[in-house]
């Protein structure tokens, strides 16, 4: 199977029942990639409906604090408030092309769910979102949004009741309905061809960034920084720079600290395994049972990392590190007060790293501001109260 | 005894195989052994599942069975012990159904060696496609373990041929679209699929997923399958009786007798 793996990572580790559907998806995707009309329609909807291109913003005060020039790629300014919409619209157009009538998706933080519900409403699909019961509790505003957009939400009560369990349910639903249903996977993971599809739709982030930074600074950045949950915003930023010498850093969720076991740091705490159809670094016990994860940001709270990231780490093209809950929260408050931008807690991990790492005056950083933090206000307030006590 | 032998034996008697499935360690180690021993009274082959935290090919019934087993402390090591214990009391072939990450975590050679030592005869890895099963198949062959693959009525003809070439022991044919789980209706394409398979290969066909009563089993027998696999229905029966273990055992015993009657048919 060509291109099914990134080095030894990726693949299609799924029940036989899903093979025809995945073959069909791959064929449709390959055709769409070559179709100028599809690309035009995609460009139109990203511009006129989603609000692309997003600005590349020189954050002067943040730069001063970090000691080097920092630009923020403003995916938070997109319709629905995060980069997820790029992929949701792209795959929805693909689903329309394939003649599917029903769309399903998994969601953790709710951003992908909202993006999918938005794309479904815009393009005319029946929509069902699987969300863990625990996540429904902690991301209530997103839940309400999905409902208002016309999507149905199925609360997942099995397992740990978070993102990985929502993925299980979505896969099961798809297994039973492959003819009429499109499974809109939200990140750069899953069985082949999903990681490639998601990268394709997210790489507009890096494509724009490259043009914009050259126009403003007449040189490429020295470093790109992005938070990594499944890995879609990171690969979106990195993909168009892989052929350069630009350094790249992916920031995983350190949660309450690696030593506590309450985190989502797949590289530090995990080993190679197979989950949800792909081979990559997975947080698992010695038997191979998948472990529960923790991060203050629901969007980073997933036990496996996208396969392309595992490969990029192996070949040392990208460096991966962690930032914990406390550091992320501090960065959240700092960006809000210093730049007037409330970042998503996920993106706050990337900001925190930029401040922590000690860059040189000559360095030129681009940080992916993957989403805005409106959805996180309750969680932040909760943690405020804890601090006061 | 080897799987091939068993099917040959049954074939001579013009019988098809009753193949119940049990999730190891559900609701606890001890009760699991008792369930298995009861099933071995009527089973022609026994399928046993290693509980996994994220069983995507399973519906709610078997997912809950796995969750109960894990809560009760099931580990890969304990599953091998259970198989050893079951093997002490029966000659019938035992087939392990296990998700790939549990095999991968031990290392394929290590897992298969332990599986072989425990007395199992076959392995089904529902999320491992044939194109990635090279190492598993090779080593399993050396260890005397049959690697059984799955096909469905929607599997494309070319791929079906490949799967038939790869599978050992028998072909696992999905009786319905979807995940495991007792249900009323079947995929009507299955009759055609069985005909196609029989025209290409002599390997026994065992149908599974969704079979819950005698009538369904009889229909499948008439369509030409060589074995019937039943998992969720059995789990539903014993789960509904727990914590009364005696009632649970009685329930699955009765069901097994009923299925055996339906499968062997009226001659």
Contact between chains at A288 and B105 (C-beta distance less than 8 A)? yes
Element at B108 (helix H, strand E): helix B108-118
Give yes or no for residue A388 having a pLDDT over 70. Answer: no
Q: Contact at 8 Å (CB) between A173 and A165?
A: no
CB A175 to CB B155 under 8 A? no
Q: What is the pLDDT of residue B31?
A: 96
Do B127 and A1 make contact, defined as CB atoms within 8 angstroms?
no
Q: Cα(A77)–Cα(A294) distance, rounded to whole angstroms?
A: 27
CA–CA gap between residue B248 and residue B239 (Å, rounded): 7
Helix, strand, or coil (residue A70):
strand
pLDDT on residue B198: 95
What letter would DSSP give residue A270? -
Chain B CB contacts of A19 under 8 Å are 129, 155-156, 159
| SS3 labels along A139-201 | CHHHHHHHHHCCCEEEEECCCCCCHHHHHHHHHHHHHHCCCCEEECCCCCCCCCCHHHHHHHH
Residue A349 vs residues A19, A255, A293, A356, B166: alpha-carbon distances, Å:
37, 10, 16, 11, 47
Nearest to A275 among B101, B149, B154 (CB): B101
CA distance A161 to chain B (A): 12
Output the CA–CA distances (angstroms, integers) from residue B131 to A6, B29, B221, in the order listed.
16, 35, 31
Residues of B in contact with A1 (CB under 8 A): 131
Task: Give A165 to chain B, closest Cα distance, Å.
Answer: 7
Q: Which of A117, A119, A73 is nearest to A96 (CA)?
A: A119
pLDDT along chain B (267 residues), means of 10: 94 92 97 97 97 93 95 98 97 98 98 98 97 97 97 93 97 82 68 93 93 85 92 95 95 94 68
Predicted confidence at residue A1, as pLDDT, reads 38
Lowest mean pLDDT among A7-11, A278-282, A293-297, B178-182: B178-182
Record: contact A289-B52, CB cut-off 8 A: yes
Q: A173-222: per-residue pLDDT in tens?
A: 998 898 999 999 999 999 999 999 999 999 999 999 999 999 999 999 99
Q: Are B149 and B165 in contact (CB under 8 A)?
A: no
Q: Residue A128 and residue A130: Cα distance in Å, rounded?
A: 7
Place of tokens 């995945």: A22
Name which of B216, B240, B243, B236 is nearest B228 in CA terms.
B216
Distance, in Å, from the CA atom of B23 to the CA atom of B29, rounded to the nearest integer, reads 11
Q: pLDDT at position A389, please?
A: 44
How far does A264 lie from chain B, in Å, by closest CA? Answer: 17
pTM: 0.95
Neighbours of B192 (CB within 10 A): 12
- Chain A residues touching B64 at Cβ < 8 A: 158
Give contacts of A20 with chain B, Cβ < 8 Å.
154-156
Cα dist from B12 to A249, B16, B46, B226, whole Å: 65, 10, 20, 12
Share of chain A above pLDDT 90, in %: 89
- Alpha helices (H) along chain A: 19-34, 36-45, 60-66, 84-97, 111-123, 133-138, 140-148, 163-176, 194-202, 204-217, 232-238, 266-269, 307-314, 325-339, 345-356, 377-388
Give the model's pLDDT for residue A2: 43
Q: What are the catalytic residues of B?
A: 47, 58
Nearest to B265 by CA among B204, B221, B216: B221
Tell which of A289, A291, A292, A302 to mutate to test the B interface (max B CBs under 10 Å): A289
Q: Compute CA distances A22 → A14, A250, B164, whole Å.
A: 10, 29, 21
Residues ≥6 apart with Cβ < 8 Å to A253: A227, A229, A263, A264, A265, A293, A294, A295, A296, A297, A300, A301, A322, A323, A324, A325, A328, A349
What is the reported pLDDT for B212? 84
Which structure tokens are listed for A149?
Answer: 């957009």
Instruction: Read off the pLDDT of each residue in A159-165 and give the average, rounded to a whole number.
Output: 87
pLDDT of residue B186: 61
Instruction: Give the model's confidence band at A252: pLDDT under 50 very low, under 70 low, under 90 confident, else very high.
Output: very high
Residue A176 has a pLDDT of 86
Kindly report the number of other CB atoms within 10 A of residue A340's CB atom: 9
Confidence of residue A5 (pLDDT cuts 50, 70, 90): confident
ipTM value for the complex: 0.94
Cβ atoms < 10 Å from Cβ of A384: 11
Predicted local confidence at residue B221, as pLDDT: 87
Q: Report the interhelical angle of B214-223 vs B190-200 (nearest 10°).
A: 40
Residue of A nearest to B179 (CA): A172
Positive/negative CA dihedral, A25, A30, A35, A41: positive
Q: What is the pLDDT of residue A310?
A: 98
* Angstrom distance (rounded) from CA B223 to CA B207: 11
Report CA B183 to chain centroid distance, whole Å.
17
Cis peptide before B243 (omega within 30 of 0): yes
- Residue written as token pair 């019988």: B15
Residue B207 has phi, psi (to 5 degrees) of -100, 140
Burial A173-201 (b: 16+ CB within 10 A, else e): bbbebbeebbbbbbbbbbbbbbbbbbbbb
- Tokens 């913003």 correspond to A57
- Determine the Cα–Cα distance for residues B230 and B213; give it in Å rounded to an integer: 9
Alpha carbon distance B22, B24 (integer Å): 6
Q: What is the pLDDT of residue B105?
A: 98
From CA A289, how far away is CA B103, in angstroms rounded?
11
Residue A121: its pLDDT value, please?
Answer: 98
Of A261, A253, A257, A310, nearest to A281 by C-alpha is A310
User: Which residue, among A385, A333, A334, A343, has the nearest Cα to A367 in the 3D structure?
Assistant: A343
Helix (H) or strand (E) holding B250: helix B245-264
Distance from CA of A79 to the nearest CA of B (A): 33
Chain B interface, best mutation among A10, A172, A280, A293, by max B CB count within 10 A: A172
Give the mean model confidence (pLDDT) for residues A324-346.
97
Pairwise CA distance, residues A6 & A126, whole Å: 34
Q: CA-CA distance, B76 to B96, in Å (whole number)?
A: 12
Round to whole Å and give the CA distance between B164 and B179. Answer: 22
**With an 8 Å Cβ cutoff, is A189 touching chain B?**
no
Q: Is residue B65 a contact partner of residue B235, using CB atoms and an 8 Å limit?
A: yes
Query: What's the mean pLDDT in A246-260?
Result: 97
A289-318 per-position pLDDT tens digit: 999 999 999 889 899 999 999 999 999 999
Q: Rounded to an integer, what distance in angstroms lies between the CA atom of residue B88 and that of residue B82? A: 10
- Which residues touch A316 (CB under 8 Å, ≥6 apart)? none
The mean predicted confidence, pLDDT, of chain A is 95
pLDDT, tens digit, 9 for 90 and up, residues A74-103: 999 999 999 999 999 999 999 999 999 999
In this structure, is the dihedral angle defined by the CA atoms of residues A323, A314, A305 and A225, taken in order, positive or negative?
A: positive
């Amino acid at each position: 199977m060509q291109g099914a793996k990134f080095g030894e990572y990726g693949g299609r580790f799924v029940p036989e029942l899903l093979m025809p559907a995945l073959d069909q998806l791959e064929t449709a995707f390959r055709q769409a990639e070559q179709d100028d009309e599809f690309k035009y329609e995609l460009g139109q909807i990203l511009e006129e409906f989603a609000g692309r291109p997003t600005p590349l913003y020189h954050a002067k005060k943040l730069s001063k604090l970090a000691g080097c020039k920092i630009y923020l790629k403003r995916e938070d300014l997109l319709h629905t408030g995060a980069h997820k919409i790029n992929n949701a619209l792209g795959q929805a157009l693909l689903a329309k092309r394939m003649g599917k009538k029903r769309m399903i998706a998994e969601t953790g933080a709710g951003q992908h769910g909202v993006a999918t519900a938005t794309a479904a409403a815009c393009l005319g699909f029946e929509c069902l979102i699987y969300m863990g019961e625990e996540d429904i509790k902690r991301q209530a505003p997103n839940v309400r949004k999905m409902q208002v957009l016309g999507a149905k939400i199925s609360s997942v009560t099995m397992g740990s009741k978070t993102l990985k369990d929502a993925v299980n349910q979505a896969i099961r639903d798809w297994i039973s309905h492959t003819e009429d249903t499109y499974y809109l996977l939200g990140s750069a993971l899953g069985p082949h061809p999903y990681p490639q599809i998601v990268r394709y739709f997210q790489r507009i982030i890096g494509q724009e960034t490259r043009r914009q930074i050259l126009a403003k600074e007449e040189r490429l950045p020295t470093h790109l920084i992005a938070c990594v949950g499944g890995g879609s915003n990171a690969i979106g930023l990195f993909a168009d720079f892989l052929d350069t010498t630009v350094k790249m850093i992916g920031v995983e969720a350190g949660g309450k600290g690696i030593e506590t076991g309450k985190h989502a740091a797949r590289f530090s705490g995990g080993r190679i395994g197979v989950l949800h159809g792909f081979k990559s670094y997975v947080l698992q016990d010695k038997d191979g049972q998948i472990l529960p994860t923790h991060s203050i940001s629901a969007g980073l709270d997933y036990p496996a990392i996208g396969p392309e990231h595992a490969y990029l780490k192996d070949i040392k093209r990208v460096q991966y590190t962690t930032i914990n809950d406390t550091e992320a929260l501090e960065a959240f408050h700092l960006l809000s007060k210093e730049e007037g931008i409330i970042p998503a807690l996920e993106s706050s991990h990337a900001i925190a790293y930029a401040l922590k790492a000690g860059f040189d005056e000559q360095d030129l950083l681009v940080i992916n501001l993957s989403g805005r933090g409106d959805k996180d206000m309750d969680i932040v307030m909760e943690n405020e109260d804890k601090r006061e006590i | 005894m080897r799987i091939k032998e068993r099917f040959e034996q049954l074939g001579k008697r013009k019988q098809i195989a009753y193949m119940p499935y049990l999730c190891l360690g559900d609701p606890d180690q001890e009760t699991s052994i008792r369930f298995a021993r009861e099933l071995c009274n009527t089973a022609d082959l026994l399928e046993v599942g290693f509980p996994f935290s994220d069983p995507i090919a399973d519906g709610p019934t078997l997912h809950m069975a796995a969750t109960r087993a894990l809560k009760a402390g099931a580990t890969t090591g304990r599953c091998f012990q259970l198989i050893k214990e079951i093997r002490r009391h029966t000659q019938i072939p035992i087939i392990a159904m296990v998700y790939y990450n549990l095999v991968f975590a031990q290392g394929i050679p290590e897992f298969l060696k332990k599986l072989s030592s425990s007395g199992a005869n076959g392995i089904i890895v529902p999320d491992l496609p044939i194109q990635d099963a090279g190492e598993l198949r090779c080593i399993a062959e050396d260890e005397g373990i049959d690697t059984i693959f799955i096909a469905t009525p929607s599997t494309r003809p070319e791929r079906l041929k490949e799967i038939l070439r790869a599978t050992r022991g028998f072909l696992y044919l999905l009786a319905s679209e979807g995940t495991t789980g007792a249900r009323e209706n079947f995929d009507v394409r299955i009759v055609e699929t069985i005909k196609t398979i029989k025209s290409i290969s002599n390997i026994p066909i065992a149908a599974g997923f969704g079979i819950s009563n005698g009538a369904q089993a009889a229909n499948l027998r008439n369509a030409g399958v060589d074995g019937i696999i039943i998992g969720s229905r059995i789990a539903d029966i014993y789960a509904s009786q727990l914590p009364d273990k005696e009632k649970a055992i009685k329930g699955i015993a009765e069901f097994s007798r009923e299925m055996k009657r339906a499968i062997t048919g009226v001659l």
